[in-house]
Amino acid sequence: MQAKKANPHVINSTPNSAHSAIDVVLDTAYQGISASQWKKLFSKARESGLEQFIADMFAGKHINNSEDRPALHCALRNLKKTPVFIDGQDVMPAVAEVWQRIEALCNKWVGVTDVIHIGIGGSDFGPRLAIEALAHVPGIDSRGMRMHFLANIDTAELARILARAQPNSTRVIIVSKSFTTLETTMNAKAVVNWLKENNCTSGQISRALYAVTANVTAAKEFGIAEDQIFPFWDWVGGRYSVWSAVGLPIALQYGFDTFKEFLAGAEAMDLHFKNAPLEENLPVIMALALLHQQEKHKIKAYAVIPYADALDWFPKWLQQLDMESNGKSVDRDGKPVKYSSPIVFGSAGSNAQHSYFQLLHQGTEIIPIDFIAVREPMSNRPEAVAHHRILLSNCLAQAQALANGKDDENPNNVYPGKRPSNLLLLPKLNPFYLGALLALYENRTASLGALWNINSFDQPGVEYGKVLAKPIEKALASDETNIQASADIDAVTAARINLLNS
Ligand code: F6P
């Protein structure tokens, strides 16, 4: 009898290769990484000083070398309040004082119908994701408040919110680490004008305005009462800031206990990241798997697909986290890097299957995927259980199809296979596991930065465009149609301005 020909499309899978921490399971079976390759990856991690980097991060060392400061967002979820020192000073008393103020505010806001949270980037994605993700968690009460997120300078978002909010019972939280971000300050002024136009007195307006910022002086200059300003600190990066008072909406909307649970999940994941050996360390394993795919397959992108509609904002949050942290061409010492962050994209499954999965299955690029699934359905209703089973079946089926491919006489129907993926399984979607999920990815991103020798905590690349926008805005405001190229505006842009002004 002739031996059956091996399917050339099948990935070198390693069944039962799952690791878990705080009941979060990471299954790397479809990564196609052999035991000896894993061994080499862990050696590489050790050689690159990853263990020391992790210790330094938690110890408040100045790991953000370009800005000469620590990256201590982990202190913000250190509910046990074990001392965390920055240059000899314990930051935990200041962090705990903000927790008390958040709790007090939750108890104080009675009769508030609408909260407008104004902020962009790291001052928006985290709380927006959490509010969406937790909206339908059983037992969570939204305390009768409508939470609105205003980020875009495009007034479409502003108009949509103002059409729904009731001015006399609205509170406004202006969230900006720098308090200089144009979108945020302009939107804040527009909302203040709306309150004025709706006959709110100056006393009512000042009672309605709150700020969350590391630039308290600028917030006061804006007209916000000092006792309505929640500080955070320059050692918290904007994209790592949802754990600070930036996460106020979570506490206000769902209660302080929910916010604490969210912090507790992140704290538990931090303790795992800090203490587990590299071989069992979820964030590290995920970082190394990506590194392997990058070195082996020269991957340019990876996708993250949560099979949970409530996590639809997760990929957007992750895009900033990964690409703003590690989308860089030079390392900590200013030397060119060989690898840095791949492009990150994704959206909730199963919707995503009906969008770009064609390319994931049969396109010319290999794009590794993180499948995220939740073990428990949202409720025990038979309909919810049945839908959830279909959701999970789709998630498992996609991973298998991508890994093993399929042969066919018709080339159009061949699935090339060997497309790697992770399965990340959360026991349930609740505040604790949402916190754990976000902290898992934050620690994975920081690990990748350490492996690439990239500083994951600055973002110099976002500044140049902002600078160039200023003279362009001036030229647009002039209404002139004969703007000439200059030091700030090149010929193409000058022609575009003239077109817009004509
Ligand atoms: O432009 C990018 C950025 O600086 C992000 O890093 C940050 O999250 C966002 O803008 C908002 O900044 P801020 O919180 O200072 O308003």
Long-range contacts of 390-393 (CB under 8 A, 24+ apart): 391/307, 391/308, 391/349, 391/350, 392/307
Quote the pLDDT of residue 2. 54
Question: Can you spell out the DSSP letters for 230-286?
Answer: EE--TTS-GGG-TTTGGGHHHHHHH-HHHHHHHHHHHHHHHHHHHHS-GGG-HHHHH
Q: How far apart, in whole angstroms, are the C-alpha atoms of residue 332 and residue 117? A: 35
- What CATH class does 11-456 carry? alpha beta
Q: Please name the residue whose Cα sits nearest to atom 9 of ligand 1.
A: 121
Q: Is 439:269 a contact under the CB 8 Å cutoff?
A: yes
Does the annotation count 44 as an active-site position?
Answer: no
pLDDT band at 110 (very low <50, low <70, confident <90, very high): confident
Q: How far apart, in whole angstroms, are the C-alpha atoms of residue 243 and residue 77? A: 6
Does the annotation count 480 as an active-site position?
Answer: no
Look at residue 17 and tell me whether its pLDDT is greater than 90: no
Catalytic site residue from 5, 108, 335, 354: 354
Look at residue 1 and tell me whether its pLDDT is greater than 60: no
Measure 266 CA to ligand 1 centroid, in angstroms: 22
- Give the pLDDT confidence of 402-444 residue by residue, as tens digits: 999 999 999 999 999 999 999 999 999 999 999 999 999 999 9
Look at residue 3 and tell me whether its pLDDT is greater than 60: no
Quote the pLDDT of residue 16. 79
Q: How far apart, in whole angstroms, are the C-alpha atoms of residue 412 and residue 409? A: 9
Q: Rounded to 10 degrees, what is the CA torsion of 134, 140, 258, 143?
A: 100
Quote the pLDDT of residue 101. 98
Q: Please name the residue whose Cα sits nearest to atom 13 of ligand 1.
A: 176
Q: Which residues line ligand 1 (CB under 6 A)?
A: 120-123, 176-178, 181, 184, 238-239, 324, 459, 462
- Give the pLDDT confidence of 359-417 residue by residue, as tens digits: 999 999 999 999 999 999 999 999 999 999 999 999 999 999 999 999 999 999 999 99
Domain with CATH 3.40.50.10490 in the chain: 11-456
Q: Find all residues with CB under 8 Å of 110, minimum gap 6, and list them.
A: none
Strands (E), 346-447: 369-374, 421-426
- Please report the atom of ligand 1 found closest to the CA of residue 122: 8
Which of 326, 459, 463 to probe ligand 1 with, by most ligand atoms within 8 A of CB? 459
Quote the pLDDT of residue 4. 58
Does the annotation count 463 as an active-site position?
Answer: no
At residue 151's C-alpha, the angle toward residues 147 and 157, to 5°, is 75
- Give the pLDDT confidence of 126-180 residue by residue, as tens digits: 999 999 999 999 888 888 899 999 999 999 999 999 999 999 999 999 999 999 9
Quote the pLDDT of residue 143. 85
Look at residue 263 and tell me whether its pLDDT is greater than 70: yes
Question: What percent of the chain shows pLDDT beyond 90?
Answer: 94
- Give the pLDDT confidence of 276-328 residue by residue, as tens digits: 999 999 999 999 999 999 999 999 999 999 999 999 999 999 999 999 999 99
